[in-house]
Structure 1
Amino acid sequence: MADTYLILSIFIPLLGSILCLLFPKKMRDFWALIVVLLSFIFLLFLISPVMKEEIIRINLISQNGGFFSLSFLADGISLIFALVFSFIGVIALIYSLTYMKSYDNQREYYFMIPLIIASLIGVAFSENLILLYIFWEIAALATWRLVGFHREENIVRIADKTFLMTFLGSSFMLLGFILLYNQTGTLSITQLKGIEISNLKGILFLIFLGIIAKSACLPIHTWLAEAHPVAPSPMSAILSGVEVEVGLFAFLRLFAYTF
Structure 2
Amino acid sequence: MTKKIAEAWPPRAYKNVDFLNSPEARQIRILCELEETERRFKEENIEDTIVMFGSARTMPLKEAKSRLAGLEKRFAGKKRLSQKDKEELRLAKANLRNAPYYNYAMDLSHKLTKWSMSLTSKQRRFLICSGGGPGIMEAANRGARKAGGASIGLGISLPFEQGLNPYVTRDLQFEFHYFFVRKWWFIYLAKALVVFPGGFGTMDELFETLTLIQTRKVEKKVPIVLFGSEFWNGILSFDTFVEWGVISPKDLNLFKIVDTTEEAFDYIVKFLTKEHLLK
**TM-score relative to the length of structure 2:** 0.29
**Structure in which a larger fraction of residues adopt helix:** 1
**In terms of Rg, which structure is larger?**
2
**TM-score relative to the length of structure 1:** 0.31
